[in-house]
Amino acid sequence: MTSRSSSTPSRRTVVKAAAATAVAAPVLAAAASPATAAGQAPAFLHGTASGDPLPDGVLLWTRVTPSPDALPGSGLGAETEVAWEVAEDKGFVRIVARGATTSKAASDHTVKVDVRGLRPGTSYWYRFTAGATVSPAGRTRTAPAADAATPGVRFGVVSCANWEAGWFSAYRHLAARSDLDAVLHLGDYIYEYATGGYPAEEYVVRQHEPGHEIVTLADYRLRHATYKTDPDLQALHAAHPLIAIWDDHELANDAWTGGAENHTPGAEGEWAARVAAAKQAYFEWMPIRASTEGTVYRRLRFGRLADLHLLDLRSFRSQQTRIGNGDVDDPDRTLTGRAQLDWLKAGLAASDASWQLVGTSVMISPVAFGSLPAHLLEPIAELMGLPKEGLAVNVDQWDGYTDDRRELLAHLTQRGIENTVFLTGDIHMAWANDVPVRAATYPLSPSAATEFVVTSVSSDNLDDLLHVAPGTVSLVASAAVRAANRHVKWVDMDAHGYGVLDVTAERSQMDYYTISDRTKQDASSSWSRSYRTLSGTQKVERVNQPVR
């Protein structure tokens, strides 16, 4: 990774501030695979996947390796006919849909099929065939009918999976569950760094491919392909439909509309070319529907119980500013972009669903230090050019774009939109927050929504960055965060794992699970804590056991 300095802190710096291998090159296995070496038969080396479930359909995905030389990103390999079929049973006796398509080098031999005509709220099995080769079968599930009185919906929730930092045991444990309607991935599905760039070389658990920082279309394709050789990730995709948004590392660290912290114009080409390559590879390799605008913001519905509003917080944002700079309040700066914010507000206002779930890749709850009572803070901030809600810790989050947040929260309160729950990743910690209208006066200020933040699958958090035992620093740091931010009900700065969100008409509950050791491929999983928000309250409260 090219060395650079920036006034904007990286996520690693932010996490630190809160406290003031064993694998062969997996993609090369394609050349040695028995399926490709013996007669050069097509092979399915990257598993199967499904995503973006609708009441009448779901998107199916796979990647065909038509010949040993057709490695991901190579641009090689002949066009190959790929048949697909969907069945009501694992044995594929009761087939309900089938068809054929063609894998081409132009799309890196990835295949996406948008199957329609299925029954709502129903589990199906699917598979692909190329020549005599049959892919592994996957299981998927459609969403409930849009007007259905759905009693409940349950999602796995994950983010921040760094290949070099550890194994993806969290994915394996979610794959083993049979009670999920889908898995929501809130960003950082891949990381762009050179090997040994993050984490440092001495802490690398397994090396990814390519070894250099990814910049070109071929690079991004190969990195996606590397991730999809992970057996736990393949198991997750084969077990549940995925609903995904990107954050920055699918592009480059701390990306914004005109560049990124981890991009050097000239040495690494123009940003426009790099981000176009990153997005093309993402849409090729991920089981989601591509928009005509090249963005991931979209909306999915789960009966009359929940609307899921998914955001793109990288494509339209202004450049990050400095910590402590009053520019965070500038109304001309934006995180969402005007069109996306208007789309979100309109969708929230028009929804008749019991719950509004908002998938946001960065935390919306304010986290600030140096807060004063509002009658002192506002005039002092005005005089000194400081943020009006205190000194934000992470200006890459909504804290760096407070006018967008103010407008959105005002919309929720003025329109009387209740039961809004923000679902967040990015920060490599687990949080349960009320989302105050005015953080500096909370709890006198009302809460407009609640937020559940899941920790990382494997990416470094506080104890990893400081190389200390869990709890050594984090207990003091988390207490300091909660003391300065009374809307923060809980924060875990050390654990890796995942969440399970269970939604009923009465409440939305997030169960937090941790894995025992990210460096162990057979890591176990255990329940950590649960928090819920009851319908009509806009507050989170602790629960003593997970949903069964």
Kindly write down the DSSP assignment for every residue of 331-350, as one continuous string: TT--SS-HHHHHHHHHHHHH
Task: Give the model's pLDDT for residue 6.
Answer: 36
Task: Give the model's pLDDT for residue 393.
Answer: 76
Looking at per-residue confidence, does 19 or 390 come out higher? 390
The letter for the amino acid at 122 is T
Specify which residues 155 forms β-bridges with: 182, 501
Residues 134 and 150 sit within 8 Å (Cβ to Cβ)? no
Residues 61 and 127 sit within 8 Å (Cβ to Cβ)? no
Averaged pLDDT for residues 193-210: 97
pTM value surpassing 0.85: yes
Looking at per-residue confidence, does 328 or 113 come out higher? 113
In the predicted model, is pLDDT for residue 33 greater than 50?
no
Looking at per-residue confidence, does 419 or 41 come out higher? 419
Which tokens in the block code for residue 511?
């169960």
Q: For the chain, what is the radius of gyration of the CA atoms?
A: 23
Task: Give the model's pLDDT for residue 403.
Answer: 96
Three-point CA angle 147, 150, 152, nearest 5°: 150
Looking at per-residue confidence, does 229 or 41 come out higher? 229
Task: Give the model's pLDDT for residue 368.
Answer: 81
Query: Which tens digits make up the pLDDT trace of 481-504?
Result: 898 889 999 999 999 999 999 999
Q: Residue 52, by phi and psi: left (phi above 0), alpha (psi -120 to 50) or beta?
A: left
Task: Give the model's pLDDT for residue 272.
Answer: 97
Task: Give the model's pLDDT for residue 425.
Answer: 97
Residues 405 and 398 sit within 8 Å (Cβ to Cβ)? yes
In the predicted model, is pLDDT for residue 280 greater than 90?
yes
* Measured CA distances, 469 to 150, 202, 371, 428 (Å): 44, 17, 31, 16
Looking at per-residue confidence, does 93 or 387 come out higher? 93
* CA–CA distance, 213 with 22 (Å, rounded to integer): 20
Task: Give the model's pLDDT for residue 299.
Answer: 97
- 3-state DSSP: the chain helix, strand, coil percent, rounded to 5? 25, 25, 50
In the predicted model, is pLDDT for residue 260 greater than 70?
yes
Averaged pLDDT for residues 512-524: 97
Averaged pLDDT for residues 497-514: 98
In the predicted model, is pLDDT for residue 392 greater than 80?
no
Residues 425 and 361 sit within 8 Å (Cβ to Cβ)? yes
Looking at per-residue confidence, does 377 or 269 come out higher? 269
* CA–CA distance, 527 with 498 (Å, rounded to integer): 10
Mean pLDDT of the chain: 90
Task: Give the model's pLDDT for residue 416.
Answer: 97
In the predicted model, is pLDDT for residue 535 greater than 50?
yes
* CA–CA distance, 418 with 509 (Å, rounded to integer): 16
Task: Give the model's pLDDT for residue 441.
Answer: 79
Length of the chain: 548
User: Which domains does the chain possess?
Assistant: 11-31+143-543 (3.60.21.70)
DSSP 488-548: EEEEESS--EEEEEEEESSEEEEEEEEES-TT-TT--EEEEEEEEEETTT---EEESS---
With both helix axes pointing from N to C terminus, report the angle between 338-350 and 402-414 in degrees, rounded to the nearest 10. Answer: 20
Percent of the chain with pLDDT over 90: 79
Query: Which tens digits make up the pLDDT trace of 290-329?
Result: 776 789 999 999 999 999 999 999 999 999 998 877 889 8
Task: Give the model's pLDDT for residue 1.
Answer: 38
Looking at per-residue confidence, does 362 or 379 come out higher? 362
Averaged pLDDT for residues 110-116: 98
pLDDT band at residue 223 under the 50/70/90 scheme: very high
Looking at per-residue confidence, does 369 or 545 come out higher? 545
* CA–CA distance, 142 with 539 (Å, rounded to integer): 31
Helix (H, G, I), strand (E, B) or coil at 246: coil
In the predicted model, is pLDDT for residue 105 greater than 90?
yes
Q: Which helix (H) or strand (E) segment is 59 a member of?
A: strand 57-63
Phi, psi of 203 (to 5 degrees): -110, 5
pLDDT band at residue 49 under the 50/70/90 scheme: very high
Query: Which tens digits make up the pLDDT trace of 424-481?
Result: 999 999 999 999 998 877 888 899 999 999 999 999 998 999 898 988 888 988 888 8
* CA–CA distance, 252 with 268 (Å, rounded to integer): 11
Residues 531 and 540 sit within 8 Å (Cβ to Cβ)? yes
